[in-house]
Amino acid sequence: MLEVVQIPVLTDNYVYLAHDAATGETAVIDPAVADPVLAAAAARGWTITQILNTHWHPDHVGGNAAIVAATGARVTGPRAEAARIPHIGRAVAEPDTVSVGASTARVLDVGAHTAGHIAYAFEADRVLFPGDTLFALGCGRLFEGTAADMHAALAKLMALAPETQVFCAHEYTQSNAKFAVTVEPENAALKARAVLIDAARAAGLPTVPFTLALEAATNPFVRAATIGELAARRAAKDVFRG
Ligand code: ZN
Ligand code: FE
């Protein structure tokens, strides 16, 4: 069973440690930076053995070099972006799998935010690392892909078990909620969630992780009925000022 530790860094990034107690293996997912990540592992007596990157953006790979230098960790990242992943040792794509101790993740191709973006789905553990593809009440911006790409990517993630815990890479939830309630003002589950989100943030608490089931009920991008509707919502969110 994986133990996941959330490390808030920079303005709104989350880096994660995924630790398998049985073997002592510890992976770090999308290290934006190195020092707080190494400190979080050291505080638990863990040694980072792997880095898993979801895409090439600097706030997801910025810590690779220093973590590799400090630990010798092996870097796994998206094959289609391998040239932009510092110190990559294993380039993966669907249907590859990645093991952290006794836990295994299925690699999912979810190109949209970036063209080669991948997600890591530890299905038996009910743990998903979607990077910048799926956020609480949101989805990634379409920097390199299309709305059709994002529609397919979100559908792929939503096909996982509803109780899956989603460990996304940013705390964007409060801003996403302000937009979401303009899209579906009559959605009672969404309104209730928005209240809880405001309370959590006021108390300085994270709103991540969350379940896929909650997204199915409340996320306007997941709930878009068509590619066109997703495209319109993504475009509206890009210019939304809550
Ligand atoms: Zn990104
Ligand atoms: Fe990011």
Dump pLDDT digits (tens) for 162-200.
999 999 999 999 999 999 999 999 999 999 999 999 999
Q: Give helix then strand counts, H and E, for the chain.
A: 8, 14
Please confirm, yes or no, whether 55 is among the known catalytic residues: yes
Question: Which band of pLDDT confidence, cut at 50, 70 and 90, is reported for residue 218?
Answer: very high
Residue at 90: amino acid letter? R
Q: Which residues contact 10 (CB under 8 A, 6 or more apart)?
A: 32, 33, 59
Cα 207 to chain center, whole Å? 13
Tokens 């939830």 — which residue?
Answer: 173
Please confirm, yes or no, whether 149 is among the known catalytic residues: no
Whole-angstrom CA distances from 236 to 141, 151, 176, 185, 219 are 11, 16, 12, 15, 15
Question: Which band of pLDDT confidence, cut at 50, 70 and 90, is reported for residue 232?
Answer: very high
Instruction: For residues 11-17, give the mean pLDDT.
Output: 98
- Domains identified in the chain and CATH numbers: 2-238 (3.60.15.10)
How far apart are the CA of 22 and the centre of ligand 1, in A?
Answer: 32
pLDDT of the residue at 97: 98
Ligand in nearest proximity to the CA of 116: 1
Percent of the chain topping pLDDT 90: 99
pLDDT of the residue at 173: 98
- pTM for the predicted model, two decimal places: 0.98
Please confirm, yes or no, whether 60 is among the known catalytic residues: yes
HSE, side-chain direction, 13 A CA sphere, residue 189? 10
Dump pLDDT digits (tens) for 51-96.
999 999 999 999 999 999 999 999 999 999 999 999 999 999 999 9
pLDDT of the residue at 52: 99
pLDDT of the residue at 200: 98
Instruction: For residues 154-163, give the mean pLDDT.
Output: 98
Q: One of 20, 30, 125, 132 is an active-site residue; which one? A: 132
Instruction: For residues 89-118, give the mean pLDDT.
Output: 98
Query: For residues 33 and 9, what is the distance between their CA atoms, to the nearest angstrom?
Result: 8
DSSP-derived letter for residue 19 is: E
pLDDT of the residue at 206: 98
Cα 68 to chain center, whole Å? 21
pLDDT of the residue at 196: 98
pLDDT of the residue at 242: 75
Q: What is the mean pLDDT of the chain?
A: 98
Nearest CA to 84 out of 52, 118, 116 is that of: 116
Whole-angstrom CA distances from 68 to 14, 49, 134, 199, 237 are 19, 9, 27, 38, 37
The yes-or-no verdict on residue 3 having pLDDT over 80 is yes
pLDDT of the residue at 47: 96
The yes-or-no verdict on residue 137 having pLDDT over 90 is yes
By the CB criterion, residues less than 5 angstroms from ion ligand 2 are 59, 132
Lateral strand order in the sheet of 26-29: 2-9, 13-20, 26-29, 50-52, 74-78, 88-92
pLDDT of the residue at 205: 98
* Residues 227-238 as b or e (16 or more Cβ within 10 Å = b): eebbbebbeebe
Taking 3-state DSSP, the helix, strand and coil percentages for the chain, each rounded to the nearest 5, stand at 35, 25, 40
Query: For residues 147 and 78, what is the distance between their CA atoms, to the nearest angstrom?
Result: 20
The strand pair at 88-92 and 74-78 is best described as parallel
How far apart are the CA of 80 and the centre of ligand 1, in A?
Answer: 15
